[in-house]
Chain A
Amino acid sequence: MSTDKIREILTSHGRLTESVDNLKDDSDLYQAGLTSLATVGLMLALEDEFDIEFPDSVLSRKTFGSINSIADTIEDLTD
């Protein structure tokens, strides 16, 4: 899936210390300044945008650790 939308939401809700444009799809978002609290805001924004609900089983640090990992999870949920 295209990661443009995810990047857009990361920019508005991720409160990262680095510009999202400088991140690769596999960059570690926690290294880029993603906090636990910002993860919650990010999660809710992704749910609204993609009309999904992350089940408890994927609510882990790993799911939100990179753009790729977010995209894979969303793909699994929208299959």
Chain B
Amino acid sequence: MCNSHSTIEGQYDEYREELIAAGMLIPSGVSGVYGLSGTFEGIIEAFERYISRQGAPLKPEVMRFPPILNRQTYLSTDHIETMPDLMGSIHTFKGSQREHITMVNKKEDGEDWTTELAPADVMMVPAACYPLYPTAANTVLPEEGRIVDLRAFVFRHEPSPDPARMQIFRQREFVRLGTPQQAKEHRDYWLKKGQEILKSVGLPVKAELANDPFFGRGGRVMAATQQEQELKFELVVPIASNEKLTAISSSNCHLDHFGKEFNITTQDGNHAHTACIGFGLERITLALLKTHGFDLKQWPDEVKAVLEL
């Protein structure tokens, strides 16, 4: 008899294999890293256009950053303190000719050749909004604050058999920088709006109080603190498992965390508060495929109409 753990693992394996057999995911040989089919990518693009239409009334500034960020910027956030196990540090070879031969010989002999590497100036982006804050460093925000539309591939080192837990995936975010009230309003607005958007494409989402996956036993204290302050909500839906729901969007208040770290201030001289909504684009697409099936022609007409498919 299966215990619930093996059942969930079994559900992950089953749905992942279905997605691969249908050509939706193209395996890479590494857990949680996939190529995507044209159909999959087409759904992401259609959903993104829908999000753009929904966000347009807010007249956001649009910024796009690559999936790597300045190592110094990374260190200015507290990611290394709170989620070190998820980080991606980029290393390269900076050695001499002799050291090059040592490295290649190590590779040929099946030894650990990575000991010959040295850190590059960049880290993988852990969340789409991280590259934004240094661009606003040492500025005073306009009275109405700022709303920024971001999208980036983000990296989290958490290899998993769950097809919805990818190591690299895209986040579409709307970030608000402003007064405490402006930030909270933004979070509350998008928590409601996010549910409307996802329900309008047939996804039975519900909102849950959540916490970030902080590292270690100490992380439990951080998680409890975050929950007590009601800083993070996730919109969850069944994907591979009906018992363990998957977050496809999250709304977060960062309080003055980034405002302080990057010296971003409001008109009254106080540190700015920030808040964001993030949509996990691959997960939303997986949820759509799970809910409506792999044949887009068979999707409900109202969903196709909303997504302009």
Chain A interfacial positions (CB closer than 8 Å to B): 36-37, 39-40, 43-44, 54, 56, 59-61, 63-64
Contact = CB atoms under 8 A, between A and B. Distances in A.
Interface string B215-232: 011111110110010000
A37 B225 CA distance: 11
B78 interface: yes
B82 interface: yes
Interface in B198-254: 216-222, 224-225, 228
A56 B221 CA distance: 9
B84 to A, nearest CB: 12
A37 B81 contact: yes
B81 A61 contact: no
B224 A44 contact: no
**Count class of interface residues, chain B:** 10 to 19
27 contacts: A36-B82, A36-B221, A36-B222, A36-B225, A37-B78, A37-B81, A37-B222, A39-B218, A39-B222, A39-B225, A40-B216, A40-B221, A40-B222, A43-B217, A43-B218, A43-B221, A44-B218, A56-B217, A56-B220, A59-B220, A59-B221, A59-B224, A60-B221, A61-B224, A61-B225, A61-B228, A63-B221
Contacts of A43: 217-218, 221
Interface string B45-86: 000000000000000000000000000000000100110000
Contacts of A37: 78, 81-82, 218, 222
A79 to B, nearest CB: 21
A-B pairs with lowest CB-CB distance, top 4: A40-B218, A59-B220, A36-B222, A60-B224
Interface in B122-178: none
Given A40-B222, A44-B218, 13 more contacts: A36-B82, A36-B222, A36-B225, A37-B78, A37-B222, A40-B216, A56-B220, A59-B220, A59-B224, A60-B220, A60-B221, A61-B221, A61-B224
Contacts of B225: 36, 39, 61
Interface of B: 78, 81-82, 216-222, 224-225, 228
Contacts of A36: 82, 221-222, 225
Contacts of A54: 217
